[in-house]
Structure 1
Amino acid sequence: MRLMLKRIVILAVAGAALAVGLEFMQVFRVPPAVASTETQATRVVVEKAARRLTLERDGRVLARYAVALGPSPIGQKAREGDGRTPEGVYAVDFKHPRSRYHLALRISYPDARANEAARQAGVSPGSDIMIHGIRNGLGWLGRLHRERDWTDGCVAVTNAEIREIWSRVPEGTPVEIRP
């Protein structure tokens, strides 16, 4: 009986390790299909204080998601590594299907204003600000990832949520990030 239990535990641990490894390596990941035109967003709004991302179509709310931000979310992003999510109006400029964070939508930060402010301060403005899922291999965290702000200035949702967002937000969609 004891030997049988030991084998079951070993198989369970090996299966879990294999599943995490496959997720980490993105072996079977297929980006979701594009949603129908009438369910696609024409604007994304991120409200940092409310920790909320909203998909809108022509002023009508399509969906809302709770988010995690960087560890210092208050205020405008000033430099690389400050842990802040930028504020302003940007656009989705690239959809990253092989991200380290499940799937990701890159926004067009830094813009000319951020580049100039960083140049004058003698710092890098930062880059690669994304709306993304949970780090590969940690997708099992699900909603728990929102218990604290943990990104480097990005906007994070669950893996299931980024799959919905990915399918409904085409490249070029405006993204407004509010304080």
Structure 2
Amino acid sequence: MRYLSLIFPFLIIIGFIFWKYNKKDDKANRINKDGKFIKYGIQWEDSFYDQVPISLDTTIIIDDSNGKPLRFHQYIKPIFNGDAMIFLEKGKWKLQRFTKSAIDSLMNDDFAIARADRYQAYRNPDSSNSVKEKFANIAHRLNMADNILVIKHQRKMYIQRNGKNLLQFNINLGGNPIGHKQYEGDNKTPEGIYHLDTKFTRTDKIYKSFMISYPNKTDRENAVKKGLKPGSSILIHASTVKRKNARDWTNGCIALTNAEMDTLFNHVIEGTRIEIKK
């Protein structure tokens, strides 16, 4: 979907993010002049196991970068200390370690899932000195939804966790909603399995948005075979007052109300899997 009003604000936001991330100060870089990793806030002690709250599900398995499954006692220390963070990739929790090589690899991969979210966690570590607060922050992230299901013909969006519906929203789609998106300007909402990308509050009337990872490799290849552009900037976004009672008014995006976008922001993070069905 193309929004002329979106392009300029979006470029400003992305530019600001990378300007902020690349400021040359020791705290932001988390590597001091001696090449040592800087730590902030209270650091892990094994006695903290006795303070793990009920809200923190210790049965969750998290995969490391090599696909090795890690149990709670293996990942809690690096996460608590700010040496790593957790993110969603294809419906599974993954561990992002904040070693220099891991961060360099992340920044060299333009298609890394939840790339901005992961780098921001590296640059802005949890500096709390409260054990309770640190555990609460970790529990909140692990309690996020892990899947979004969109059924186009129902005009419904289901926010899910462990296969169960947590929330349900009515949605609006593109002006030509039947069928999978084929090319730029066809006003269709894509169908298939994607993930949510950059999450941002906007400076225009649309309020808040999540990017959807359309087009994928197959989408691009299919469009090229037909001599067409696949299109881009497919979003989940809010609605303007003018569109309050309109139906299927977008150019291919998925529209919610402003209040629903606030709720979505509180339950969903970058990297969340989204399945869009006809």
Same fold judged by TM-score > 0.5? Answer: yes
Q: CA deviation at 1:167?
A: 1.6
Unaligned runs of 5+ in 1: 1-24, 26-33
Matched, 1:119 2:218: no
1:67 to 171, 175, 178: 171
Call closer, same or farther: CA 1:154–1:78 in 2, change over 3 Å: same
Q: CA deviation at 1:166?
A: 1.3
Over 2 Å off, 4+ runs: 34-39
Letter of the 2:216 counterpart: D
User: How many residue pairs were aligned?
Assistant: 141
Letter of the 2:217 counterpart: A
SS of the equivalent of 2:157 reads strand
- 1:153-164 matched pairs, under 5 angstroms: 153-164=252-263
Matched, 1:173 2:277: no
- Per-residue CA deviation, residues 58-99 of structure 1 (Å, 9 max, x unaligned), is 101100000000011000100011010000000011102116
SS of the equivalent of 1:54 reads strand
CA–CA distance in structure 2, aligned partners of residues 99 and 52 of structure 1: 27
Instruction: Decide which structure has the larger Cα Rg and report it.
Output: 2
SS of the equivalent of 1:118 reads helix
CA–CA distance in structure 1, aligned partners of residues 145 and 257 of structure 2: 19
Instruction: Specify the alignment match of 1:94 in structure 2.
Output: 198
CA–CA distance in structure 2, aligned partners of residues 36 and 154 of structure 1: 28
Instruction: Specify the alignment match of 1:36 in structure 2.
Output: 140
Letter of the 2:144 counterpart: Q
CA–CA distance in structure 2, aligned partners of residues 44 and 99 of structure 1: 26
CA–CA distance in structure 1, aligned partners of residues 149 and 193 of structure 2: 9
Of 38-47 and 155-164, more deviation after overlay is shown by 38-47
Instruction: Specify the alignment match of 2:209 in structure 1.
Output: 104
Instruction: Specify the alignment match of 1:15 in structure 2.
Output: none
CA–CA distance in structure 2, aligned partners of residues 164 and 81 of structure 1: 30
Question: 1:134·1:157 contact (CA, 8 Å) conserved in 2?
Answer: yes
- What is the Cα-based RMSD across aligned positions, in Å? 2.0
Question: 1:72·1:84 contact (CA, 8 Å) conserved in 2?
Answer: yes
Call closer, same or farther: CA 1:134–1:38 in 2, change over 3 Å: same
Matched, 1:78 2:182: yes
- Per-residue CA deviation, residues 33-74 of structure 1 (Å, 9 max, x unaligned), is x99346521000110000001100010110000000001100
1:47 to 151, 161, 172: 151
Question: 1:107·1:128 contact (CA, 8 Å) conserved in 2?
Answer: yes
Call closer, same or farther: CA 1:99–1:109 in 2, change over 3 Å: farther
Question: 1:39·1:62 contact (CA, 8 Å) conserved in 2?
Answer: no
Q: Give aligned-pair identity as a percent.
A: 39
Q: CA deviation at 1:113?
A: 0.5
- Per-residue CA deviation, residues 136-157 of structure 1 (Å, 9 max, x unaligned), is xx27x64x24xx1100100001
Q: Which has the higher contact order (CA 8 A, sep 6+)?
A: 1
Unaligned runs of 5+ in 2: 1-8, 10-136
CA–CA distance in structure 2, aligned partners of residues 99 and 155 of structure 1: 19
CA–CA distance in structure 2, aligned partners of residues 99 and 176 of structure 1: 28
CA–CA distance in structure 2, aligned partners of residues 114 and 102 of structure 1: 28
CA–CA distance in structure 1, aligned partners of residues 228 and 261 of structure 2: 31
